[in-house]
Each structure stands twice: as C-alpha cells, then as structure tokens.
Amino acid sequence: MPVPPRSSSRRCPALAIAAPDMQVPDILALAILPLSAVLLLLYAGAARAQTTSGDVSALEARIQAQQAKLQQEELQLEQQSLELSRQQQLLDSEMATLRGAGTTGTPQPQSASVSAPAPQPAAPTQPVGAEQQQAQQENQDQQTKIILQSSTVLSGTGGVLTPKGQLLIDPSLEYDYWTQNQLLLNGFTIIPGITFGNIFISRVDQRFITAALTARYGITDRLEINLKLPFVGGFGSTTAQSAGPNATSLTASASNVDIGDLQFGASYQFNSGDNGWPVFVGNLEFKTATGQNPYEVPIYNVQDSTSIAGYGVVPKRLPTGTGFYALEPSVTVFYATAPGVLFGNLQYIQNFGSSFNIPTTGGGPARHTKLEPGPAVAGTFGIGFALNDKASMTFSYQEEHVFGSSSDGHAIPGSSYDFGTFNFGLGYALTPLTSINVGVGIGVGPYAPAAKILIEVPTRFNIM
C-alpha cells in the first residue's frame, strides 16, 4: 500500500491552523512570555538569597561584637580581681604591721610612741601600691600615737616620746580629792565589845589642785628629756568628836598654796617593734623635795584655843610635797593590735630618807627625827582604742604597794600599805600639733585619792 507524502500541515498542526490568522510578532510574544516568567522567578530567588545572606552577615557581626564585649568585660573582671588581690595583700600586710610583724618587701612598723622618720619600703613592683601602704602605715602610727597620748597614766610615767627636734609644752590641771574616816581609841578592851577609855571619831577631807607645766624635748627619735614644774594649792578640813550622844564636834580648816616637788628625767626606746615584738621604753625620773613637806607644817597643839589637838595631829597648813627625794625607774611596753593598743608600765620608786623637826601636839620644842620611807612598786596595764583619726579612749588600772617605813632606824609597824586606781582617758587632736586629754581616776583603798581629774593640753613645736 503506497505511503502518502508528509506535508507541513501534519508536522505542525497548530501552526497550520493558525497560520492563516496570526503574524510573526504575536508568535514571538507568546514565546517570550514563559521565558520572562522564568527569569522573574530566578531574580526573586536570587534577591531572597541575597537578603538571607545579609541577615546572616549582620547576625554574625552582632555575635562578634558581643563576643568582643564579653572579652573586654572578662579582661576588666580579671583586672578587678587582680586589684582586689593586691588590696587583700595590702590589708594582710597592714594587719601584720599592726601586730608588729613586718613582711619582706613591706615597711617595718616604727614605734608608735615615737615620731620616727617615715618607714622606707623595699623596692616595690607597684609604686602606687607602695605609696598607699606607706600612707596607711603613717596613718596607723599617728592613730597609735594619739591613743598613747590620751592615756594620762602614761604621760606621767613615761612612754610617749617626742620626735627628734620637737619641743612639747604640756600645761595641765589636776584635781585630787582625799577623804578618810578614822576611829581612835585611847584606852583598853577587856573582852570584845567592852572598851574602857575614850573613843574619838574624825573625818578628814582634803582637796588639792595642781597646775603643772611639763616640757619634753626629743634629742633623737628614741631619746627624750623632760622637766615638770608643779604648783599646788590645797584646802581641807578635819572634823572630830568623841563617841556618845552628848559629844560636840570640832572642826579645823587648813590650806596652803606653794610650789610642788620638781621632777625631771629621760626616756629611751629600746627597740622598733619589728618581727612581732612589742615596743619597750625605759624611763628614769628624779623627784626633788622642793614642796613643803607634811612633817614640818604647823599643827594644832594644846596651847591653841581649840582643843582639837586631843584628837591627834591636825595640821594648820596642808603640805605641797612629800618631803623626800625619790628615784623612779620604770619600763613601759605597748603592742599595737587592731583595733587597739595594749600597754603596760612597771615602776619602782626608791625613796631617800631625810631628817625633820617634827612639831608635837603638847606645844613643846620640835622633835628631830630621821624618817626613811619604804620603797614602792607600781604596775599599770590597760588598752586604748582609736575612735577615728582624731579621737581616742583608754582604760587602765594601776596598783601600788608601799613597803614599811622606819623612824630613827626603827621599823614603824603597820606602815606598809596598798592602793589602786581605775583610770579612764579621752583624747582629741585639736590640730596636728595640739591635743586635749582628759583623765579620770577612781581610788581603791583608804590610801588612794577618792577621785581625781586631770586635764592636759600638749602642744608640739618644731625647733629643728
């Protein structure tokens, strides 16, 4: 069977059908339309990919910025940690110096009671830290000095030294109140509770006001000399009567104003207090007998209009001195331990005998007698606190034992005795060179003053 020939209408039936009505541009437009759609889809995908890539880049940049910030904060934290560690080391070193235990590479503490030259630190690796440590050490030395100077007990016994080339002028005013009740028996007792004879009761009140001027000069940073000139005013009364309902009391008054016993001496600091040791200061005082002694003052006797002489020795004038020369060596020790300062003093008093013309109550001639007072030992201990950089307070207790005395070579029975004093002190630095100290003492025992108040205003002058 013959095969029919292939015509163009069979190869492209659509074109063959449309050919009679469509032009070539229309055909091209129909062909380009799908291509444009494809290109548009491709462009949109590319733009979306570019936007996503930009977001990722921005996110990575923010992450990098946060990482850099975290690294910077970590570096700052590390620096702060190092600074805190350094401050802790300084604090530890400061605590060590407060206890008198210096460490290698840090300045050793100087005596707080002596204005020694500023401590020289070893070669520091951080100059700023060394300056801070030196400032802290100087501040601690100043506080310790203020604490010790506020103790009126130490100012009297020694231990608060004056720096080299400085002169300290210390005017002071002290008030002492003494009171004593006495029961005198002139008779005998046959059994307890039954007494034959006369019984006398007396009460003695005495008040002394001592205005003194003390001068201290620092020859070196560890050696000081001092001089004290007192001026004493005393007034008091003695009231006595016999026991019984019909007894009449008699009162006699006494007063006096005169110079007291001049004192002078020196103090020396033995060590600097390094390696955990406390500071030791040696003192040596010499007391003269320039004041009026209590054994030669006029007394009431039987020739006076009053008969108070029958109640014992009643003075018409109060003494202003002890009447004996005395040498008083002592050792003062103090130990700086935060937040205060511990201190103590051990004193020995050697009195030298002397002869006196002692008046008698019978009105006859005075009796020449040589009196030799016994030596005495005294101990003081206490603690002081710095309230701030100007104010401080101290608490201390002083106990003294006086050994027996003798008259014309014969021991006087019952002449040894003990007494104590509780002391409280306040100090305030008015200026860098002037301060005011107030001390209050309460006596323990019949031979101690019932109360005393001491006010000091020490002022320093730079002579050299």
Annotate 261-292 with DSSP letters as a single string.
--EEEEEEE-----TTPPEEEEEEEEE---SP
307, pLDDT greater than 50: yes
The rounded distance, in Å, linking the Cα atoms of 345 and 9 is 139
Contacts of 108 (CB under 8 A, 6+ apart): 97, 102, 119, 272, 274
- 21 φ, ψ to 5°? -110, -25
DSSP 97: H
pLDDT at 384: 87
Query: Which of 3-17, 189-203, 338-352 has maximum average pLDDT?
Result: 338-352
The rounded distance, in Å, linking the Cα atoms of 203 and 171 is 33
Task: Report residue 33 as tokens.
Answer: 């339309």
What is the rounded average pLDDT for all residues in the chain? 78
Could you tell me how far CA 26 lies from the centroid of its own chain? 112
pLDDT at 329: 96
**Which tens digits make up the pLDDT trace of 437-458?**
999 999 988 888 889 999 999 9
Contact 203, 232 (CB under 8 A): no
Strand partners, 383: 342, 395
Angle at 175 between CA 359 and CA 420, to 5 degrees: 80
Task: Report residue 99 as tokens.
Answer: 């206890």
The rounded distance, in Å, linking the Cα atoms of 106 and 119 is 9
9, pLDDT greater than 60: no
**Which tens digits make up the pLDDT trace of 167-214?**
999 999 999 998 887 665 555 555 555 544 556 677 889 999 999 999
The whole-number average pLDDT for the span 290-317 is: 82
pLDDT at 8: 44
Dihedral sign from CA coordinates of 397, 403, 404, 405: negative
Give the residue extent of every domain in the chain. 9-52, 142-462
The rounded distance, in Å, linking the Cα atoms of 258 and 292 is 7
Task: Classify domain 142-462 at the CATH class level.
Answer: mainly beta
CA distances from 132 to 94, 121, 129, 230 (A): 11, 11, 5, 44
Q: Which residue, among 400, 220, 397, has the nearest Cα to 326 in the 3D structure?
A: 400
The whole-number average pLDDT for the span 129-155 is: 67
Contact 418, 399 (CB under 8 A): yes
Share of the chain above pLDDT 70, in %: 69
81, pLDDT greater than 90: no
Task: Report residue 439 as tokens.
Answer: 């001390």
pLDDT at 162: 86
The rounded distance, in Å, linking the Cα atoms of 318 and 232 is 10
**Which tens digits make up the pLDDT trace of 426-438?**
988 898 889 899 9
CA distances from 361 to 105, 181, 368 (A): 74, 20, 14
Q: What is the pTM for the complete model shown?
A: 0.67
DSSP 315: B
For 254, half-sphere exposure in the C-beta direction (CA atoms, 13 angstrom radius) is: 24
Q: Which residue, among 354, 348, 363, 299, has the nearest Cα to 321 in the 3D structure?
A: 354
The rounded distance, in Å, linking the Cα atoms of 449 and 440 is 11
The rounded distance, in Å, linking the Cα atoms of 298 and 256 is 11
Contact 97, 139 (CB under 8 A): no
Query: What is the separation, in whole angstroms, between the first and last Cα of the chain?
Result: 150
